[in-house]
Structure 1
Amino acid sequence: MKTTLPLSKQIFRSLLVGCTLFTSVFATAQSGNGGQQSIPELVFKNATRESGSAGADGTIYRFSNVTSNVDALVTIAGRSSSLVTLSTIDRTGTGYDNAFQPEVSYNNGNASSNRNWWMDFDVRFVTKDGNTPVTVNEFKVTALDVDGDGSRLREYVGFYNAQSYILENNTQLSVQNIVATIFGLLTPGRQFDGPTTNYNNIDVTATRVMTTLGYSNKSNFRVRAGGATGNGSSSAASRMYSFWFKGFSYTAPVQSTLPVKLMSFNATLGTNKVDLKWMTAEEKNVSHFEVEKSTDGKTFSSIGVVFAFGNSAEVRNYAFTDNNVNSSKDGVIYYRLRSVDVDTKSELSQVRMIHLSKRAGAELSLLTYPNPASSDLRVTIPAQWQGKKVAYEVISQNGQVLISTQNAAASQTENLNISKLPTGYYAVRASCNGETAQQKIIKQ
């Protein structure tokens, strides 16, 4: 994507009416081909604001007639912090008119070193001029020009609940697993991190910085537009993203199906050990899971292998114990899963953290970090609560509960996203079986 300047657009309002009936369509439009079966294109043009304030979380935009008698409602689902803003929902005059091209800016285009930011968009397919959900049988989404500023900034994109993705054989994109709660369901996804290299313009032949996602029988999905800086600042943190709902030709395409649907992955601290448990909802040609461990969160090494069921449409439970832990020392341990299929292709889970403390005991106390925090807040619970049902709340100074969530089998350390909270002082409260612990935090 390219650095952009804000662009003003005329916007319109119309009434959003809730409906509960579902219909199903198969889109018929032109298609592109990336060595795969031809799939119809969906056209995203002429967006109008349906409800909400321009650029605010929860605001809905309507793209009419993305295919015959089907509209798309695009909702701003969230952002990493208040410094992330939407300049325009669909940039025109550059890129490709048929593509969905949001322009997202961080801190007015100026990012200091080691920053990471994102904005999420939920896309729902509905009847033309209505709100009845529509299931689209099959479609593709291609992220174009996922590159950088030529120096210290790189873009990334994320997609949730796709059936497959295609990359060039010599791609410059790296892939990692992500998970989000979407419409109340824990949903797996893939994040594609671009290089810092800057590719001129938005070029559909620059396949090394492109990826194409395949979806089947979907009425909604989520896409993420993000960026990050390394060891240096960038004044190019206003970026345009181009998501074209069609396939493309790749020189040497490598298609990956998503073999594992990971429902949960938890880590709990015991006496000189860490118990790791995970559940899968579906497996396709999975060989095994490698458990990886790190002491710095950057360099991981394999500490064990757990063989998978391989092919399953049922919920499967797995467990592994790391006995090489000194729980009486201070420090942090990081764990992740690498699922490996029969073709030796692999995918990574999200990282779980275990906080070690020689002062740990039976006292009911929470450890929160970083503090102050701007987006992700890590909360370490008392040891005796691990693996049990724990409720988490973030409370304002006047006692109002602003965030409420729970985990039926809590890990030792959980993440809370506080990016939407205004700057100020808050308290984090956790409860388990009638016991409660609380810690003050600062949101910056």
Structure 2
Amino acid sequence: MKAYPMAIVLPKLNTIKSVLFGSIFTLISFFGYSQELVFKNGALDVTSPVTAGKDGAIYRFPKVTAKGDVDALVTIIGRYANGGNSSKVVLKSIDYTQSGYDVAFQPQVIFNGGETPKGNSDWYMEFDITFVQNGKNIPVAVETADVTALDIDGNDESLKESVTLYALSTYVVAKNTRLTVSKVTDVLSGFTAPAEGVKFLGTSMDYPGINTSSQRVRATVTYKNSRRIRFRAGGESGSKQSTSDRLYSLYFKSFTYDDPNEGSLPVKLASFTAAKKSDKRVALDWTTSQELNTSHFVIERSYDGKTYEDAGIVFAVGNSNVNNNYKFTDEPNSKSGVVYYRLKMVDVDQYAERSAIKVIRTSEISGEAKILTYPNPVVNELRVQLPVSWQQKQVNIEVYNSNGQIVKRSSVSRANQNESVGVSELSSGVYIVKASNGTEVATQRIVKTK
């Protein structure tokens, strides 16, 4: 949503439930009482290693609890556009207070100077929130917390805002929500393993102002026994240029939904696999363990990992408490040698949720030994996808700098499809990743950034 000229100031309501927060520091304190958390008077902290607005900048919001004994540290983790780091994503304000709710956390983010470029784009800024003792950097833990993302909308029938939250326990949206809800799995800095989250993609329709009564464009997430809050505020745009000066509002309290859809889509996906066949086709198989008013599945395909198209539709059983198996065979035409698949699960009310993404390297069908590395550029953890024929074998992975020197080496005796290599300590620059199984060698160029 855009910024609007009036701020709404609400009295404090002690209704918040949820969240166990942690951080990189040693956890020594705990509090678990229910209350609304108030984000006001945020400013660049004296411990911030960089200036305001830059990656790594740390902001302190003092006395977020009713007792005033807890502060919130908000850190800018990074900014990305179309799959890579981008200086086109700019923080205009860490907490805009001229509209919306002055007790909510409301970052204002601009992409591409305030107007989206021609052509499809997606972008976001990533933030991390840690709770600490008032005036100190000693982390404390909140037992539970509810966080409501308000007014996730868009404009001009082209731009759609998005809010992604990670490591949450549950979420609630309205049954007639205008949001597209997708499960995501991403490699995040500071996390020891890929983090699961939920992405809420808004509608291109503009809902004026930031209003808690707009149930169809808001989502409430609950955190339990979580060590941190990590979220991304961004958007997606199409060929039509749109205003990309966007205001996001995270209100740390729960809200009532007249007709809630809690937890997740009433279809439980037990498994989803994608495998290449010898005739260059791809076999997709999935199993549901429960279906409730499920309508159909859309198989979505992408050749760049950004823009997806419909590859096919499979109708669901509809209502079931037993396992149901589904199949679909696709014939991709990938010039890049890589194709991405995901399932869009749709119920009879047209509420939809997406599965995790499966990656297939079509070049392997022709016998070429290649590796796929992601994310690229990389900041902390590099994922290396190995050829199918290499799996369960000993694989050596080496990282070379521009001078041809080995700067990182790892070896696994029984390799999986995806292996991880930590690169956080490496300097920014261009590197070559080399993987071998004793008889075959594959390499790929990567870019390391801070």
Cα offset, 1:59, TM superposition: 2.2
Residue 77 of structure 2 corresponds to 77
- For residues 117-138 of structure 1, the C-alpha deviation after alignment (integer angstroms, 9 at most, x for no partner) is 0111111122222233322122
**1:119 and 2:125 matched:** yes
Q: CA deviation at 1:168?
A: 1.9
For 1:160 and 1:304, locate their aligned partners in 2 and report how far apart those are by CA, in whole Å: 30
> Equivalent of 1:429, from 430, 433, 446?
433
Q: Is the 8 A contact 2:180 2:351 kept in 1?
A: no
| Equivalent residue, structure 1, for 2:134 | 128
* Structure 1 contact 266–411 (Cα < 8 Å) conserved: no
Query: Is the Cα contact below 8 Å between 2:165 and 2:231 reproduced in 1?
Result: yes
Aligned twin of 1:106: 111
Residue identity matched to 2:240: G
Cα deviation for residue 189 of structure 1 reads: 0.8
Q: 2:253 aligned with 1:249, yes or no?
A: no
In the other structure, the counterpart of 2:162 is 156
Q: Rate the CA distance shift 1:274–1:388 in 2: closer, same or farther, 3 A.
A: farther
**1:37 corresponds to:** none
Aligned sequence identity (%): 39
Residue 178 of structure 2 is matched in structure 1 by 172
Residue type at the aligned position of 2:241:
S
Aligned mate of 2:101, from 86, 96, 101: 96
- Contact conserved, 2:434 with 2:443, CA < 8 A, in 1? yes
Name the counterpart of 1:33: none
Please give the per-residue CA displacement for 1:25-62, whole angstroms capped at 9, x wherever unaligned.
1245xxxxxxxxxxx21111111323122222222222
Question: 1:392·1:428 contact (CA, 8 Å) conserved in 2?
Answer: no
Distance 1:262-1:41 versus aligned 2 partners, 3 A rule: farther
Q: Distance in 1 between matches of 2:272 and 2:407?
A: 26
Q: Equivalents in 2 of 1:393, 1:251: separation in Å?
A: 55
Task: For 1:49-88, list aligned pairs within 5 A.
Answer: 49-50=44-45, 51-53=48-50, 54-67=52-65, 68=67, 69-80=69-80, 81-82=85-86, 83-88=88-93
Rounded Cα–Cα distance in structure 1 between residues aligned with 2:215 and 2:55: 32
Which of 148, 152, 175 is the matching residue for 1:142? Answer: 148
In structure 1, what is the Cα distance between the partners aligned to 2:284 and 2:393? 14
The offset of 1:269, in angstroms, is 3.8
Report the Cα offset of residue 301 of structure 1. Answer: 4.0
Q: Which amino acid aligns with 2:74?
A: V
CA 1:49–1:395: 2 relative to 1, 3 Å: farther
Decide whether aligned partners of structure 1 residues 247 and 323 sit closer, same or farther in structure 2, where only a CA change above 3 A counts. closer
C-alpha change, 1:94 and 1:301, in structure 2 (3 Å) is same
Per-residue deviation at 1:437?
2.1
Number of aligned residue pairs: 399
* Alignment match of 1:192 (pick from 191, 194, 200): 200
Distance 2:314 2:396 in 1: 31
Match of 1:14 in 2: none
Q: Which residue of 2 aligns with 1:226?
A: 234
Matched residue, 2:36:
41
Q: Are the equivalent residues in 2 in contact too, given 1:78–1:120 (CA < 8 A)?
A: yes
* 8 Å Cα contact 1:24/1:134 also seen in 2: yes
Q: Distance in 2 between matches of 1:399 and 1:261?
A: 48
Letter in 2 for 1:46: N
TM-score, normalising length from structure 1?
Answer: 0.71
1:167 alignment partner, SS class: strand
The 3-state SS of whatever aligns with 2:261 is strand
CA distance, structure 1, for counterparts of residue 405 and residue 258 of structure 2 = 56
Q: In the alignment, is the contact (CA less than 8 A) between 2:371 and 2:435 conserved in 1? A: no
Q: Which residue of 2 aligns with 1:13?
A: none
Quote the residue 1:35 is aligned against: none
Amino acid at match of 1:253: P
Q: Deviation digits for residues 419-440 of structure 1, max 9, x if unmatched?
A: xx98x8x454241445542234
When the two structures are superposed, what TM-score results if normalisation uses the length of structure 2? 0.70
2:113 partner SS: helix
- TM-superposed CA distance for 1:169, in Å, is 2.4
Deviates further, 238-247 or 123-132 = 123-132
Unaligned runs of 5+ in 2: 6-22, 303-307
Is this contact kept in 1: 2:108–2:245, CA < 8 A? yes
Q: 1:405 to 1:131 in 2, by over 3 A?
A: farther
Deviations 1:7-38 (A, max 9, x none): xxxxxxxxxx974133221245xxxxxxxxxx
Change (3 A) 1:270 1:222: same
SS state of the match for residue 384, structure 1? helix
Question: What is the root-mean-square deviation of aligned Cα atoms in Å?
Answer: 5.0
| 1:75-130 deviation digits (Å, cap 9, x = unpaired) | 21222122212122111222211111111111222321201001111111222222
Residues 243 and 327 (structure 1), Cα distance of their counterparts in 2 relative to 1, 3 Å cut:
closer
Is 1:384 aligned to residue 389 of structure 2?
yes
**C-alpha distance in 2 between matches for 1:257 and 1:403:** 41
Secondary structure in 2 aligned to 1:185? coil
Q: CA deviation at 1:157?
A: 0.4
- CA distance change for structure 1 residues 232 and 258 in 2, over 3 Å: closer, same or farther? closer
Structure 1 pair 204–409 and aligned structure 2 pair: CA distance change class (3 A): same
Alignment of 1:284-299 (within 5 A): 293-294=299-300, 297-299=308-310
In the alignment, the residues of structure 1 paired with residue 101 and residue 231 of structure 2 have an alpha-carbon distance, to the nearest angstrom, of 18
The question of whether the paired residues in 1 share the 8 Å contact of 2:61 and 2:72 is answered with yes
Deviation at residue 149 of structure 1 after TM alignment? 2.3
Which piece of structure 1 moves more, 156-165 or 330-339? 330-339
Preserved CA contact (<8 Å) 1:329 1:358: no
After superposition, the C-alpha distances for 1:138-173 in whole angstroms (9 at most, x for unaligned) are 211111111112342110101112222121222111
How far apart are the structure 2 equivalents of 1:180 and 1:371?
13
Paired AA for residue 250 in structure 1: Y
Flag the 1:260–1:443 CA change in 2: closer, same or farther, 3 A. farther
Alpha-carbon distance change, 349 to 126 in structure 1, aligned in 2, over 3 angstroms: same
Partner SS state of residue 299, structure 1: strand
SS in 1 for 2:309: coil
Q: Deviations over 1:167-194 (max 9, x none)?
A: 1222111101111234213221110111
